[in-house]
Structure 1
Amino acid sequence: MKKIYSKILLAGLLTGGLVSCDKELDLAPTDVLIEKTVFSDVATAESALADVYFKLALASVGPTHIIADASLGHVGLKEGNSYSNYYSGDLIATDFNVEGIWTKYYEAINVANVFIDKVPEFATYNEDIQKQHMAEARFNRAYAYHMLLSYYGHGALTGNMEGLGLPLQLEPYNGYNEEDQLARSSNDEVYGQIISDLELAIQDLPEIYSDKLTTRVRATKNTARALLSRVYLYMRDYQKSLDMSNRVLASSEYKLDADLLNLFPLNTAGTSSEFSDEVIFGFPFSGNGGNHQFGLHGIYYYNKYQWADAGFISSMDENDKRRTELIYEGNPAITDPVTRLEETTFKFNNPDGRDDIIVIRLAEIMLNKAEALVQINGVNAASVSLLNEIKTRSGLPEVNESDFASKEALLNEIYHERYLETVFEGRARFDFIRTGRPLKDPNLTEDQKTFPIPLREIDLSGGILEQNPGY
């Protein structure tokens, strides 16, 4: 597939046509003709698949990404900033981003549903490629549901499997029909669907593609396993998280990068994507040929709309390379007296916001394994060894088993190392909630840590969608 994020205008044909047939002439409906044309041929089917990835990418960046970090103290924000509601307890069901994150991920789910539904009906190309394409769509759908559940599933991150989850839309949306409105499935049922999609995807996804970049921007067997490693950890199924982590770590395709500045390189041009060997899956927003339209959906730490909190920086070891190499002045053109002296993360350093977005990388999988092993076996040498690999890469001294008097002590060290390692990568909120640590406002109730269901969606469902407690 050439440049998987080339703009593809398939919105109309992927959501169903509006032109009805002329019964006297017995003509096929326009939407059927379009779908048959798109999904019958491998080239046009790949273009449709590109749209699935593209919509998932657009749902995953911007506010979706920033809120997950802005919920904690390491992100500096101006007084009265637009992100305060997500950590102050003042969130409401009509909030713009509450609705936007929900809508964008369900748009990504819908195009994946169309692909899964229509390829078996219309495709005439190689059956193995058909299976691979549908497996890629299933991976995209699983990732979208996982993110939605992390934000909106009541208790989904704290082990409440019977809590209110999400409406499981698994068929293409064909317009508003009152009788088709779905109630919310439980967290357990949504997790089950995510796991089912990923397990089915693994059967038909390739091990790798023909080049390194494609292997990192299209789903592979290990991409799905890596996501399962994260999902099972969130579910507290530590043995299965460990199993999936081991499968990924056994691959020779991924390596912990010795150089942080190779993992997060200087990206002033923003016209090419070259992911490190450590990256398992990412969105290549730099590789858009200089087209700024995707930059509008980028991450804006470089521009100091958000920055690295000075207290957080000073709390890091002064020799930690994640401090000395990955925190910097940022855009010197920012002259706002509130922000001009603030430092920010080097992970997003393109001045136009056209940075590649790393979604899953090997360091996370190593920490997943370390955490799962401690949950299963208590203090153990393997977890300490994995922890030390991350520490020494950052220039920190190693630790020993004897440094930890209890399982909880080692877990807390792993949690802290995960925080420092993946900070600004759009998951910190979820890690803090699932491990029982407070967000920026320590007084938030458990109900307030879950997003409300958008009021618009509740109204459209005729009340079938139940609101989260506390809203």
Structure 2
Amino acid sequence: MRKKIFQYTLTLASVFALTACEDLLDRKPISDLTQDNAYVTAADAEAALVGAYDSFAQEYYIWDNIIFSDVISDNYYAGGDNAEIFAVEDLNIVPTNSRLFNNWSQIYNAILKANAVIAKVPSIADPKLDDGNRRTQIVGEAQFLRAYHYFQLVKMFGAVPLITKPTTSTDPAETQLSRTEVAEVYAQIVSDLEAAIASLPDTYGNVASVNKARATKGAANALLAKVYAQKPDRDYNKVLEHANAVINSPAGYELLNNFADLFDGTHYNNAESIIEVQFAGSTEANWGPQMMLPPSISGDTWRKFVTPSHDLIAAFDSEGDTQRKEATILFETVPWADEYWSPTVNGNVPFAYKWKTANGWASTNRQYLLRLADILLLKAEALNELEQTEAAREVLDEVRDRAGLAPTTAANQAQMAAAILKERRLELAQEGHRWDDLRRADLAVDVMTNLDVMNLSTGVKKVYNMTVEKQLLPIPQSERNLNKNLGQNPGYN
């Protein structure tokens, strides 16, 4: 890898004392906001909240969420030259893979920032916080953020320590925590999001760059729809309830007419966006595009990461889905060999293309944390699972029509489920959803085991030794070394 990706080496034990540290975007320093006397004014509360939102600019949310959802699945190959990312593609992830610890520590750091806001802001004696119910909104925003981060953790690792209060203690009794059962983690996520819905506005006014940057009722309802679909005891009635709350929101979410506009770099904060990371460039930039985009755009000639798979491209082609394919994938002749596309240099290789500009590691290209098409397809899934297949067809075809596709030919509930899953793949590729979808459909093992991938350099078919246990990641060994109470997920040493 030609550019050192930002590394975070905070342990869970040490991060307890750092509820708002390491403001990645170098905004107003807030590293001392864990101290009681730092939470005095409305400005202090807003600064702490800024620090909590800035967690979306950490490496996990820029980069590894794609690695551990799209590269780990049938959507993309690793590309690049990083052995630990190759291991993710190969489904050969071991507890000592440092990316696990990076993800774990960064997400817990984000949770602890949110915890500080939730715990400290209610007691700030500044009347400005009560203007327009701002105090309640700030806490609601932090509750949304905490729920979002715990949702990432519980999906990746299963049972994880549940920390809901800030602490500066180094007492092992408080820092060496055991893992909390999955059901209890999900219960906390649901509780936080229900509280957020009760306290957040539909919008903060007429400025899109504010409404799409911050948690709203729409964002909390959208995340709850995803949570109720993904949790082990899923509840499709609740998925439908919260998806409809988004679709019918006074915020006026609607699909863009042109799918490509979502990713052309000039239509961010659009009507389809529910919440997105607000990269502005310079020190507030997205370096991910430089890792993926071809030489003609990135300006460099080293081998790029996150290469679209033959299987993904075949899925686009089988539907005649040229609009979304062209907005998602770009082919280019490259000066390196690729084991899946061209074993010799100067072959034609596809690139992940939903980010369009690199700008020398300082791109303004954004990630949609939540957008309407995802929620519409979840609604279709819920209707189908509730045996309302014809109603599901109407919603699915709304998304297909935007992509220029004919109505689905699915004739029964099983075919409709497969059609919705495929539609999600084509609509949401490179956006960090595929692994969740495969696991939710109980298809991760079958899909990966039967994947037909040939290594053109060796002439040997690739074997994915996928197991049920590999649907969860191993608990990072470096964290277990510090906390003997964590244990390990089944199937890992």
Normalising by structure 2, we get a TM-score of 0.80
The equivalent of 1:444 in structure 2 is 466
Q: CA offsets per residue over residues 79-137 of structure 1, 9 Å max, x none?
A: 87532222434212121111000100000000111111111233413332111101101
CA distance, structure 1, for counterparts of residue 222 and residue 418 of structure 2: 22
User: 1:12 Cα shift?
Assistant: 3.0
Q: What root-mean-square deviation, in Å, do the aligned CA atoms of Structure 1 and Structure 2 show?
A: 2.3
Secondary structure of 2:444's counterpart equals coil
Q: CA offsets per residue over residues 234-278 of structure 1, 9 Å max, x none?
A: 1221000100001111125211111012111146xxxxx832210
The equivalent of 1:22 in structure 2 is none
Match of 2:489 among 456, 468, 471: 468
Preserved CA contact (<8 Å) 2:263 2:327: no
Secondary structure of 1:424's counterpart equals coil
User: 1:11 Cα shift?
Assistant: 5.8
The equivalent of 1:458 in structure 2 is 480
> Partner letter of residue 271 of structure 2?
D
Matched, 1:126 2:129: yes
> Partner letter of residue 236 of structure 2?
Y
User: 1:298 Cα shift?
Assistant: 5.5
Q: 1:299 to 1:173 in 2, by over 3 A?
A: farther
User: 1:348 Cα shift?
Assistant: 0.9
Secondary structure of 2:120's counterpart equals helix
Matched, 1:305 2:305: yes
Matched, 1:335 2:335: yes
User: 1:371 Cα shift?
Assistant: 0.5
Match of 1:245 among 243, 246, 250: 243
Q: 1:123 to 1:51 in 2, by over 3 A?
A: farther
Q: CA offsets per residue over residues 19-58 of structure 1, 9 Å max, x none?
A: xxxxxxxxxxxx333x2xxx32223321221110111342
Q: CA offsets per residue over residues 352-371 of structure 1, 9 Å max, x none?
A: 45221111111111111111
The equivalent of 2:352 in structure 1 is 345
The equivalent of 1:47 in structure 2 is 47
Preserved CA contact (<8 Å) 2:79 2:307: no
Q: 1:293 to 1:212 in 2, by over 3 A?
A: closer
Q: CA offsets per residue over residues 429-450 of structure 1, 9 Å max, x none?
A: 1111121123674241111221
- Structure 2 counterparts to residues 335-374 of structure 1, below 5 A: 335-338=335-338, 341-352=348-359, 354=363, 355-374=365-384
The equivalent of 1:203 in structure 2 is 198
CA distance, structure 2, for counterparts of residue 129 and residue 297 of structure 1: 34
User: 1:296 Cα shift?
Assistant: 3.4
The equivalent of 1:97 in structure 2 is 99
Preserved CA contact (<8 Å) 1:71 1:429: yes
Preserved CA contact (<8 Å) 1:116 1:137: yes
- Structure 2 counterparts to residues 401-420 of structure 1, below 5 A: 403-404=410-411, 406-420=412-426
User: 1:383 Cα shift?
Assistant: 0.6
Match of 1:375 among 381, 385, 402: 385
The equivalent of 1:28 in structure 2 is none
User: 1:74 Cα shift?
Assistant: 2.4
> Partner letter of residue 400 of structure 2?
K
Preserved CA contact (<8 Å) 2:469 2:490: yes
Match of 2:117 among 111, 115, 118: 115
The equivalent of 2:428 in structure 1 is 422
> Partner letter of residue 287 of structure 2?
L
CA distance, structure 2, for counterparts of residue 297 and residue 314 of structure 1: 25
Preserved CA contact (<8 Å) 2:262 2:268: no
How many residue pairs get aligned? The number is 423
> Partner letter of residue 248 of structure 2?
A
Q: 1:126 to 1:351 in 2, by over 3 A?
A: closer
Preserved CA contact (<8 Å) 2:331 2:349: yes
CA distance, structure 2, for counterparts of residue 73 and residue 399 of structure 1: 23
Matched, 1:230 2:226: yes
CA distance, structure 2, for counterparts of residue 421 and residue 92 of structure 1: 31
The equivalent of 1:12 in structure 2 is 31
CA distance, structure 2, for counterparts of residue 375 and residue 94 of structure 1: 39
The equivalent of 2:161 in structure 1 is 167
Matched, 1:187 2:182: yes
The equivalent of 1:283 in structure 2 is 277
The equivalent of 1:19 in structure 2 is none
Secondary structure of 1:344's counterpart equals strand
CA distance, structure 2, for counterparts of residue 143 and residue 228 of structure 1: 10
CA distance, structure 2, for counterparts of residue 296 and residue 79 of structure 1: 15
Preserved CA contact (<8 Å) 1:205 1:221: yes
Secondary structure of 1:184's counterpart equals coil
Secondary structure of 1:76's counterpart equals strand
Matched, 1:294 2:313: no
Higher mean C-alpha deviation, range 197-206 or range 252-261: 252-261
Higher mean C-alpha deviation, range 434-443 or range 180-189: 434-443
CA distance, structure 1, for counterparts of residue 438 and residue 204 of structure 2: 35
Instruction: For structure 1, list consecutive stretches of 5 or more residues without a partner in the other structure.
Output: 17-30, 154-164, 268-272
Q: 1:71 to 1:192 in 2, by over 3 A?
A: same
User: 1:204 Cα shift?
Assistant: 1.1
Normalising by structure 1, we get a TM-score of 0.84
User: 1:144 Cα shift?
Assistant: 0.2
